[in-house]
Amino acid sequence: MESKEVEIKNGNYLGKERITVLLRKFSVPSVLSMLVAALYNIVDQIFIGQGVGYLGNSATNVVYPFTVFALALALMAGDGISSLFSLYQGKGDEKEKERCIGNGILLILVFALFVTLLGFFAEEPLLWFFGASANCYQYAKDYFDVILIGMPAYIITSALAGLIRADGSPRYSMFATCLGAVINLILDPIAILYMNLGTFGAGITTIIGQYASLIMTLLYFIHPKTFAFHKSSFRVSWRSIVGILRQGISSFIIQISIVIVISVANKLINIYGTNSIYGVDIPLAVIGIVMKVFGIVIAIGVGIAVGGQPIIGFNYGAKNYQRVKETIFWILGLNLGVGLVATVIFEACPQVIIDLFGKDQGETYNAYAVLCFRIYLSGIALTCFQKAGSIILQSLGKPVQSMILSISRDVVFFVPCLIILAQQSGIEGMLYAALISDVLSSILGLFFLLNEFIQMKKLIRISKKEAVAS
């Protein structure tokens, strides 16, 4: 009988403990960490809406795609590392596990440097590209100038959170991320409402929180649980780097698709908003709010799925397919439940949520905001299913299927629908693109997952025959 310390060291508890207990252990901290990452932006937007107005919210909507791009690179590295980590742990391959960690950390540092330099040298074209209007450009620039300083901390912390969870410390990962969010939440109203620093103040409080989280994250690696750093771990291995990128590509696409959708939507609003009763700045502000709220729900769903990654990865590597199937069913069921609850809230009381981002914005503003919530978010339960399916496929070591499913909703289906409907029905009609793409991508996700279940059923049958024969 293995001691508790040995079981933790080799990850065997992932193959023995009840699935519900493991999901609670890993998914709850993961959900909270993902929520905190989403709340960094939404907290700023709430206080900016209260202190600056909808032009300030328009500005944060313009900057938001850049922060999501940074997060996309961070998660590609972080989720790729944690996914390979769990698979190698299930196989008992300590050498490859530690090599992927060392090379993954090098990759994270490269991404952090790249994003910071990109923002520094290409600020103006990026802001116009992401849909800034003449009215909100200066607000966006003030905000962007400051948060760029915090980008290295944001990327490193977001990427290493997944590795800390996979190492068996999901609570530590959660607390490290939450520390920054709490600091941001405390300082935001002081900087924006009392010191009247506007979007510049929101940026300052954000980076203070990000660097606090980074310090706590780095402290973890003084004494990690199941691995140690060696000089050889940091020797560049293209095999490890490619493996990390392959495993993390779907996480990158999930996030980068948000960048594409927001950028295209902002451009279409600039084109078609001028001829509507809503103008340009109201839809820019509202779409930004809706996307942030959308991100909160998706953070919960993705957090549940990401929390299940170590369980799926370990048991798949250990050929314990029945536990893999049970974990997948729990993840999908919980995601559908989250999506259905969110749908009821968005359809029944959208104005309550809208008012959080600033009251008395006018009847025209409220009319478009309610329309956005009730139409754009009507298929969010299907979105949760599709996003979870993509992460599950990633956990099974199926990066190609995961990547295809990741790009299907937002790139293959959403963007073309958005453009066509905007041309035909203006900025009101384009809101239906979300529901259409949710339905189509969920059908594709169901097809991929059913195929995996069929394959696992065959593998279970083979395993039983081998057990009888031995």
* DSSP string for 6-49: HHHHHTGGGGTS-HHHHHHHHHHHHHHHHHHHHHHHHHHHHHHH
> For residue 329, what are its two tokens?
């069913």
> For residue 203, what are its two tokens?
């940026």
pLDDT in the model for residue 8: 45
pLDDT in the model for residue 165: 80
Handedness of CA 112, 117, 118, 123 (dihedral sign): positive
From CA 187, how far away is CA 121, in angstroms rounded? 29
DSSP summary character for residue 223: S
Contact 396, 83 (CB under 8 A): no
Contact 308, 26 (CB under 8 A): yes
Whether pTM exceeds 0.75 = no
pLDDT per residue, tens digit, the chain (470 aa), is: 444 444 444 456 777 788 888 888 888 877 876 777 667 667 766 776 666 666 666 777 778 889 889 988 998 998 888 878 877 777 776 777 778 888 989 999 999 999 999 999 998 999 888 877 777 788 788 888 888 999 999 999 989 988 888 788 878 888 888 888 888 888 888 887 788 877 778 788 888 999 999 999 999 988 887 777 777 778 888 888 888 898 888 778 777 877 888 888 888 888 888 888 888 888 888 887 888 788 889 889 988 998 888 888 888 877 888 888 899 999 999 999 999 999 999 999 888 888 887 676 778 888 888 999 999 999 999 999 999 998 898 888 787 888 888 888 888 999 999 999 999 888 888 989 999 999 999 999 999 999 988 888 887 787 777 766 66
- Residue by residue, DSSP assigns 128-180 as HHTT--TTTHHHHHHHHHHHGGGHHHHHHHHHHHHHHHHTT-HHHHHHHHHHH
From CA 223, how far away is CA 119, in angstroms rounded? 34
